[in-house]
Amino acid sequence: MERTRLWAGPGMVLMSTMLLGLPLSSFHLGQIQALNRELGRLCGNPPREALSVCRIHAALVRSL
């Protein structure tokens, strides 16, 4: 599986959220960043069971 460079900076998440018009509290923003970090770690060398989740994560990251 291709390794994707992930950047979970608050500016990127905030900007994409503003573009989508979704309100985010700082609590939710922190949770999204933590989820992105964990998915990045998992998808660096994913087990077979996580391949579909990693594909979805990679598509979401590319869309930002």
Answer yes or no: is 25 within a domain: yes
Of 54 and 10, the structure prediction assigns the larger pLDDT to 54
Please state the domain count of the chain.
1
22-32 pLDDT, tens digit per residue, is 566 777 888 88
Q: Which domain holds residue 42?
A: 10-63
Q: Are 12 and 64 in contact (CB under 8 A)?
A: yes
How high is the pLDDT of residue 39?
A: 93
> Pick from 30, 29, 47, 34: which is nearest to 6 by CA?
34
Answer yes or no: is 1 within a domain: no
- For the entire predicted model, the pTM comes to 0.56
4: which residues sit within 8 A by CB, 6+ positions away?
43, 58, 61, 62
Backbone angles phi, psi at 5, to 5 degrees: -75, 125
Q: Are 16 and 62 in contact (CB under 8 A)?
A: no
